Structure 1
Amino acid sequence: MTKHKIYTMRIASVYPHYVTKAERKGRSKAEVDEIIRWLTGYSQEQLEEQLEKQTDFETFFAQAPQLNPSRVFIKGVICGVRVEDIEEPTMQEIRYLDKLIDELAKGKAMEKILRK
């Protein structure tokens, strides 16, 4: 079985789109970074290193220092699919990230996005 195309996409190629989406709605790159760090456990330096290394999504999530246990509380629909119903782990992690960025762009408070 072939891997889904998104697994081999470099996070660095998608990251600017996350930032642009957030900034168009008055949010910041720092907030995007905070969301990614919260989800994955990467430090800011580690995140920047992953972006510089052109790491693909599959490797990015596989090497994440500490996936946040609270990510299971992320619910809702992204790309027409409920994130909590996605069975393939890597795809679910990618969609969790997409959902969090969507919540940021929709103006949700960071405390709620980060499930505090």
Structure 2
Amino acid sequence: MKKKDITQMAFRDLYPLYIQKVERKGHSQSEVNQIIYWLTGYNDQLLSEQIETGATLANFFQNAPHINENTALIKGSIFGIHVENIQDPLVQEIRYLDKLIDELAHNKTMEQILRSEIS
């Protein structure tokens, strides 16, 4: 069986899964959106456009207005892989988003998730 290329998945297929994951832990879609906005620079309108057009994850990240400069602060593993060690920049960005959503589902504070300088 051939392994599916994650970069070709439609973002609109993954987005509801992120929401379901965090809602099971008492969090909301607006928190998921806040994470996406922080990481990618998207806003409500631009995010909706990406969902409506069926953008692949590759297109979603390539068209991102601005990838946050603090992504290097995102550390840890997702699916058994340390995000800081991923060599492919696109796959790394995808896994950064996975990691941040996972942190929300594990009840980290938004300040911790968004790597705020607030102590």
TM range (shorter): over 0.9
Structure 2 partner of 1:97: 97
- Following TM superposition, the consecutive aligned residue runs of length 4 or more in structure 1 with deviations greater than 4 angstroms are none
Task: Tell me how far 1:4 sits from its aligned partner.
Answer: 5.7
Normalising to structure 2: TM-score of the pair? Answer: 0.93
Task: Tell me how far 1:44 sits from its aligned partner.
Answer: 1.2
Q: Output the amino acid matched with 1:6.
A: I
Q: What is the SS of the residue equivalent to 1:64? A: coil
Q: How does 1:1-116 map to 2 (within 5 A)?
A: 5-116=5-116
**1:18-67 deviation digits (Å, cap 9, x = unpaired):** 00000000000000000001000011110111011100000110110000
Task: Tell me how far 1:5 sits from its aligned partner.
Answer: 1.2
Structure 2 runs not aligned, ≥5 long: none
Q: What is the percent sequence identity of the aligned residues?
A: 52
Normalising to structure 1: TM-score of the pair? Answer: 0.96
CA distance in 2, matches of 1:38, 1:66: 9
Q: What is the SS of the residue equivalent to 2:36? A: helix
CA distance in 1, matches of 2:102, 2:58: 21
CA RMSD of superposed structures (Å)? 1.1
Q: What is the SS of the residue equivalent to 1:13? A: helix
Q: What is the SS of the residue equivalent to 2:60? A: helix
Q: Output the amino acid matched with 1:28.
A: S
Q: Output the amino acid matched with 1:71.
A: T
